Amino acid sequence: MKVFLIGFMGAGKTTFGKRLAKRIDVPFFDLDHLIEAFTGGSVADYFAKYGEEKFRELEKQVLQTQELPDNFVLSTGGGAPCFHDNMQWMNANGKTIYLQLAPKAIAGRLENAKEERPLIKGLKGEELVSFIEERLAARESFYKQAQFIVDGLSVNPDAVVELLTRQW
Ligand SMILES: Nc1ncnc2c1ncn2[C@@H]1O[C@H](COP(=O)(O)OP(=O)(O)OP(=O)(O)O)[C@@H](O)[C@H]1O
Ligand SMILES: O=C(O)C1=C[C@@H](O)[C@@H](O)[C@H](O)C1
Ligand SMILES: [Mg+2]
């Protein structure tokens, strides 16, 4: 089974992805980390050097062409489902799960973890919440194409396994 976790920055995709992978005993991958292994530098540096458009091309290329095992959990970058045909591609190639979280909860989580996230670097307090509200509103139509939508605050591996196995 191939599981793609999607959602906004800070929704908990990497954190939850590792737990889910352990629970179903498959390898865990993180798209941002695969991109970093490919370029040999950080996502933040790539953004700064080449800009967002080039990053989105690279992101699509790594997502859709990287060789991965038959079974895995992959957490995607927050923007990945919203560019090119990535959402459609993930739905056609595996199970997609949207970790949904309200803007204020996202902001609370990101307040102390902004430096490595180029899109929100430098924003704080109400500014950060407004940025998340706007961006999330633009992105939700993509995220909501996921096959499963789960609450990012209460999500747990057992409940997700239950959801996924219902479809097997
Ligand atoms: N269930 C949770 N409860 C409380 N804090 C959490 C939870 N899951 C993640 N966090 C915290 O929220 C922050 C963001 O989590 P994480 O890095 O997993 O998000 P992400 O969706 O992978 O973000 P990005 O898209 O930027 O990679 C981290 O500091 C993490 O420790
Ligand atoms: O939400 C986004 O657009 C991003 C999220 C991160 O995971 C990285 O993929 C990058 O910083 C862009
Ligand atoms: Mg992550």
The answer to whether 42 and 36 are in contact (CB under 8 A) is yes
The answer to whether 48 and 39 are in contact (CB under 8 A) is no
What CATH number does residue 9 fall under? Answer: 3.40.50.300
Residue 49 CA to ligand 1 center (angstroms) comes to 26
User: Would you state the pLDDT for residue 166?
Assistant: 82
**Residue 56 assigned as binding residue:** yes
The answer to whether 147 and 6 are in contact (CB under 8 A) is no
- In ligand 1, the atom with minimum distance to the C-alpha of 155 is 1
User: Would you state the pLDDT for residue 124?
Assistant: 82
User: Would you state the pLDDT for residue 114?
Assistant: 65
pLDDT of residue 100 exceeding 80:
yes
| Interval 28-63: pLDDT, tens | 999 999 999 999 999 989 989 999 999 999 999 999
Q: Which ligand is nearest to the CA of 100?
A: 1
**Residue 12 assigned as binding residue:** yes
* Spatial CA neighbour of 82 closest among 37, 145, 163, 3: 145
- Full domain range(s) for residue 109: 2-166
User: Would you state the pLDDT for residue 121?
Assistant: 79
pLDDT of residue 168 exceeding 60:
no
- Token pair 């990053």 is found at 55
User: Would you state the pLDDT for residue 162?
Assistant: 93
User: Would you state the pLDDT for residue 148?
Assistant: 96
User: Would you state the pLDDT for residue 115?
Assistant: 64
pLDDT of residue 116 exceeding 80:
no
Domain count, the chain: 1
| Interval 142-160: pLDDT, tens | 999 999 999 999 999 999 9
DSSP for 59-123 reads: HHHHHHHS---SSEEEEPPTTGGGSTTHHHHHHHHSEEEEEE--HHHHHHHHTTS-TT-TTTTT-
82 lines ligand 2 (CB under 6 A): no
ipTM field: 0.95
More confident residue, 119 or 96: 96
User: Would you state the pLDDT for residue 123?
Assistant: 85
Residue 17 CA to ligand 3 center (angstroms) comes to 9
User: Which residues keep their CB under 5 angstroms from ion ligand 3?
Assistant: 13-14
Name the average pLDDT for the chain: 93
Q: Which ligand is nearest to the CA of 16?
A: 1
How would you classify residue 67: left for phi > 0, otherwise alpha for psi between -120 and 50, otherwise beta? beta
